[in-house]
Amino acid sequence: MPSPPPFGYYVPAVCFFDEKEDLDARAIKSHILRVAKGGVAGIIVQGTNGEAQHLSHEERKQTICLTRQILDTNGFSNIVILAGCGAQSARETQKLCVDTKEAGADYALILSPSTFPPQMSVPNVIRFHLEVADASPTVTAGLDLDSDALVTLAKHPNIVGAKLTCGNIAKLLRIASSVPASEFAVLAGKADFVLPGLLAGSRGCITALSNLTPKLHGKLFYLWKVAKGEEAMRQQATMGHADWALQKLGGIGAYGYGTGKVRTPLKEVTDESLQGNKHYEMLIDLIRMEERLDSKL
């Protein structure tokens, strides 16, 4: 029986492209090592920022293989890989799950189908995930369903977790208190409610902001662990404002590596175009805070 992803904070890693919009292996390596050194428990490949919809099936497998190789050859074999396997049919989703397992992923992250919304009733969505889980080597469910539906899905031995992006703490608490953490991991899906999520029983978080500030996420977890409540809340407030700023900008190219290119029809966000933007300046200040932190708290 598969185990849930380990406790900690996870990064939906950015996918980097070169000037020709081909995969930029050098930048991908730099980024994977950066977040690994920042203490992440796992890396999501083809997650929210991984541009899965813009990659071919072969490129999806290639990025997973590359990520696993980078981690293993640099002393980070303990870091797990979650692979985005979202597709509009159960059949394609099942194939993606098998592909990602073969490529070296530890878990698959599944999204509910969004085509033909009137047909996406709760029973149909539950049936979709159960069919995928039945045919998959390992599955982590990422669903936008109520707590009753998620608790039902948690009973399947191949469904071992859920990422909640909704920010509904009561929902998170209901799920976390209904299913043993040893069998099902509930993860906060945004940086603006990591601490409330931990207090409600989450097993960690998956946040876009951790691409920029993995060490600050580690600091928040440390403050929570040693029960420094007031300082932890200040840290959470800072991360909440930064998460909002990141959403407003839609992206940021302040890594120091990579071209900033994305695949058409997306449009790259350049540092030059953001000069004077208050949201951009907030994120730059946050990155400076990140650079001052020791990753081993």
Residues 252-276 have pLDDT tens digits of: 655 778 888 888 888 777 777 778 8
| Structural domain boundaries, residue 274 | 8-292
| Cis omega (within 30 of 0) for bond into 265 | yes
284 is in an annotated binding site: no
User: Mean pLDDT over residues 47-56, rounded?
Assistant: 83
Q: Is 2 contained in some domain? A: no
Domain assignment of residue 3, yes or no: no
Q: Which domain CATH number covers 32?
A: 3.20.20.70
Q: Within a domain: residue 256?
A: yes
DSSP per-residue string spanning 122-167: HHHHHHHHHHHHHT-SSEEEE----HHHHHHHTTSTTEEEEEE-S-
At 294, the pLDDT band (50, 70, 90 cuts) reads: low
Is 1 within a domain?
Answer: no
Say if 137 falls within a structural domain. Answer: yes
- At 199-215, the pLDDT tens digits run 999 999 999 999 999 99
Residue 31 lies in a domain: yes
Cβ distance 215 to 35 under 8 Å? no
Query: Is 297 a domain residue?
Result: no
Domain assignment present for 193: yes
Q: What is the dihedral of CA 53, 58, 60, 66, to 10 degrees?
A: -150
Place of tokens 């406790």: 7
Q: Which sequence positions are flagged as catalytic?
A: 163
* Structural domains counted in the chain: 1
